[in-house]
Amino acid sequence: MGRILIFLFLAPITSAYALEKICSNYYFTNDEVSFTSNEKIFICGSKSDGWNRIPQNQAQTTIENLLSIRGYYQPSIKKVDKKFVIDKGEKSKISSIEFKNKPEKFDDEVYLGSIGNDLTEENLDEIENWTLNRLETLGYPCHSVKVQASFITEKVLVNINSGLRYRVEKIQRDNSTLLNPNSFKRHDALDEGDWFNGDYLALTSRRLTNSGLVSYAYFNHSCKDPTVLTQKVTLNKPNTLIMGIGASTEELPIFKISWNNSRLDKLGSKLDSVLYLSSIEQSIEVGTTFYTSSNFPAFYIKPFARYEIITEQFYKTRSDTFGVTSGSSFDLSDSILALSLSPSRTREIQDEGEAPGESKFFALETSIHLIDHYYEYFLASPRKGDEIMLKSTYFKGDTALGNDNAKGNLLELSGTSLMNAGNFSPPDVILGIRYHYRTIITDNTSQVPQRYRLYLGGENNIRGFSRKSINNDEQGYSTTAHLAFESRFTNVLPLNLQPLFFIDLAKVGFDTSSLSKTLYYAPGIGMRWQSPFGSFRTTIAKGLIQDGIEQEEEQYVFYLSYGREF
């Protein structure tokens, strides 16, 4: 990589400046630049043999080089009264970046990351790495980049040789593991025949490590034949214990402990268990996921058992569920489609609340979930992508009242859409939309089990009302709908603080597929902090009611959460 850095020297300085000593007879005229002890050895020497005395020209060259690393390209070193006085000058900044010989669609994402930052080798390396990653995302795996910079104009020039764009014709799997190589295919975000995409390869490796099958995964490719990828993995120990902690003002604290054995057989079938503990929910689930065929590696059958206790302000339930889920996922080039079918048998005991005291019912849950690859890729720090889910839950059973009218069908549509406004990298403004629509088809709403009753209010839907406070005198509704708009600003405050503004809208209905004229809405503001150990979000919103016919009151609600996102 070639770099052009042009050096000029300022006019001589005088000893009228206040001096800051470096060591020996070298001084700064203004605020001292911090040099490490090892760096100072090359300026002032040390007591070690051979380092007692550093020649003057060598010391000054070292000072100039060390200052240039820190963004000072115009230092002045003058001997005054037997002292070498250094004026480091002004720091050079990066005012603009120009990309030459860009391939098609390169400008669909606009790089702003280093503009305004110091003109240093570190920031120039960042520009180079971003350019290389951008080329690989667009399908150019064999490339070269040359970055040039001038501290006089404070402009950076990036010369690109993108090479040819390639499709992936073959993915070779590591045959040296204890697993069938086809078992890795279920985690692929990129298939044979797709354009090369470095982000999708990284997503594939992340999925694989998150599954517990391996501790490390990556792809190799050679520019002699860039259409062939080789997946390399390092096997994990089959038994994994993961402990996590979270919190919110609704559930404080949240503990989640999971244990799994990820290698029951050569296809990566697994036994897993999850313990969830919070002030509202305490649950444990145990299941075994069987992958049945190497020709269809994503197809699974999972028998499971679950016990949970839910304690809300106006009801408390205990339930045990036994069922089996079957499903599969399909990569659709830029998204993944997950299908599942889950029959189950549940006994629900209502200790407090309006639902039947005891219900025993059969349920059949069917779901279709479409997730954009970039929604998943940026899941830990949301910025773009979409996900949408359709779900149908048919239930039928007996209640403590001795009849069989506890039957119905809960239909749900929910999703999230995120957009990086302007497609800047890193983003400046992130726009988000979140929505849901739920309705129950039933002849007798009083017999509906507690888990299928519909409420509104809380951080998951309308944030200006407390959790499940919109509840139809605690009995629930037949239909609920929610729509949320949010704008988050990522680069306006220091310390990675991100202010956000939002408005939540909601409606309810007393009959299937109908909504009343009452509108619940909640404008609000908040703050997000992406800490080194997870994200914190805090919001405050005013809950308002238009054309209200219910007894809910307008209110202010404050939320604070750790580890949860929009």
Residues 114, 103: Cα–Cα separation, whole Å: 21
Angstrom distance (rounded) from CA 119 to CA 155: 9
- Least confident residue range of 63-67, 301-305, 338-342: 63-67
Any idea what the CATH number is for the domain that residue 485 is in?
2.40.160.50
Q: 211: domain CATH number?
A: 3.10.20.310
Whether residue 473 sits in one domain with residue 454: yes
Does residue 37 share a domain with residue 140? Answer: no
Residue 29 has pLDDT above 80, yes or no: no
Q: Which of 87, 120, 135 is the last residue of a domain?
A: 87
∠ Cα 403 406 408 (to 5°)? 145
Residue 35 lies in a domain: yes
246 and 219 both lie in a single domain: no
Residues 433 and 370 grouped into a single domain: yes
Contact 22, 35 (CB under 8 A): yes
Same structural domain, 110 and 207:
no
Question: Is 395 a member of any domain?
Answer: no
More confident residue, 520 or 83: 520
Residue 149 lies in a domain: yes
**434 shares its domain with 534:** yes
Cβ neighbour number for residue 36 with a 10 Å cutoff: 8
What pLDDT, in 10s, does the model give residues 123-180?
Answer: 999 999 999 999 999 999 999 999 999 999 999 999 999 999 999 999 998 777 788 9
354 band by pLDDT with thresholds 50, 70 and 90? confident
Which of these, 424, 497, 507, lies nearest to 465 by C-alpha position? 507
Would residue 307 count as lying in a domain?
no
The string of pLDDT tens digits covering residues 374-416 is 999 999 889 999 999 999 999 998 866 555 578 999 999 999 9
Backbone torsions φ then ψ of 68, nearest 5 degrees? -65, -35
Q: How far apart are CA 214 and CA 465, in angstroms?
A: 44
User: What pLDDT, on the 0 to 100 scale, is given for residue 550?
Assistant: 58
Q: Categorize the per-residue pLDDT at 549 as very low, low, confident or very high, splitting at 50, 70 and 90.
A: low
Domain tally, the chain: 5
Q: Can you say how many angstroms the Cα of residue 123 is from the centroid of all Cα atoms in its chain?
A: 24
- In this structure, the answer to whether residues 150 and 196 fall within a common structural domain is no
Q: Is there a single domain that holds both residue 511 and residue 495?
A: yes
Could you tell me if 145 and 208 lie in one domain? no
Domain boundary among the residues 117, 134, 161 is at 161
pLDDT band at 4 (very low <50, low <70, confident <90, very high): very low
pLDDT at 36: 81
299 Cβ neighbours under 8 A, 6+ residues apart? 291, 292, 293, 326, 327, 328
Same domain, 231 and 377: no
- Domain encompassing residue 45: 20-87
Same-domain check for residues 30 and 156 = no
Segment 96-121, tens digit of pLDDT: 999 999 999 999 999 998 899 999 99
CA-to-CA distance for 566 and 378, rounded, in angstroms? 12
**Domain co-membership, 230 together with 242:** no
